[in-house]
Amino acid sequence: MAKTRKVRPATFTKYKLVIDEYFENDFQKAKAYRSIFKESTTDIGAINNMNLILEVPEIQEYISFKQRLMEQKTGITHEHITQDLLEIKTRCMQGEPFRTKDGVATGVYKFDSGGALKALELIGKHVGYFGVDNDQKAEKSINVIQWVE
């Protein structure tokens, strides 16, 4: 379990800037971190430090605040996204009959597996099923380094 730590006001202000960048650059952790903390030299270090920032309770509250603002601005909520993705998945998985040039069904069906799988992937990311996998590169690199030492 992560330790709860208090951050100084100046540090919190800087962390908020990192989170603003995180939202602006499609949630790329290393890019967001390095946009504010220029001295960070590696992606692994930037991602690890960003993960620490994301654990700070005040930052989690700030992220929730920003998400609520985005929902108000766009009118799109988590529920809307999930419902739309489920509808896309359902439509993509419906079998569509192949037809002859005359329009007669051949008895063979096709479905859009790519669209269905992409919708399921986006649903999984949206609800957080893949949280560990999204950070997997950094964690694997760290584990390898720790194992070698």
- Dump pLDDT digits (tens) for 11-33: 999 999 999 999 888 889 999 99
Tell me: pLDDT of 135 over 60: no
93 domain residue, yes or no: yes
Q: Is the pLDDT of residue 1 over 80?
A: no
pLDDT at 83: 87
- The answer to whether the pTM exceeds 0.85 is no
Residues 148 and 83 in one domain: yes
Average confidence score pLDDT of the chain: 80
Which of the four pLDDT bands, split at 50, 70 and 90, describes residue 10?
very high
Domain containing 41 equals 7-75
What does the alpha-carbon distance between residue 42 and residue 2 come to, in Å, rounded to a whole number?
23
DSSP assignment of 44-108 equals: HHHHHHHHHHHH-HHHHHHHHHHHHHHHHHH---HHHHHHHHHHHHHHHHS-EEEE-TTS-EEEE
Residue 2 included in any domain: no
The mean per-residue pLDDT over the stretch 131-148 comes to 45
C-alpha to C-alpha distance for 51 and 34, rounded to whole angstroms: 13
Whether 57 and 96 map to the same domain: the answer is no
CA 137/CA 61 separation, integer angstroms: 27
Regarding whether 113 and 146 lie in a shared domain, the answer is yes
Residues 57 and 121 grouped into a single domain: no
Q: What is the pLDDT of residue 17?
A: 95
Q: What pLDDT digit, counting tens, does each position of 35-81 carry?
A: 999 887 789 999 999 999 999 999 999 999 998 888 888 887 888 88
- 113 and 82 belong to one structural domain: yes
Residues 69 and 80 in one domain: no
Specify if 1 maps to a domain: no
Q: Are both 91 and 139 inside the same structural domain?
A: yes
Provide the CATH number for the domain around residue 48.
1.10.10
Asked if residue 32 and residue 100 are part of one domain, the reply reads no
- Given pLDDT bands bounded at 50, 70 and 90, which one contains residue 97? confident
Look at the chain and report how many structural domains it folds into.
Answer: 2
For residue 26, how many other CB atoms are within 10 A of its CB?
Answer: 8
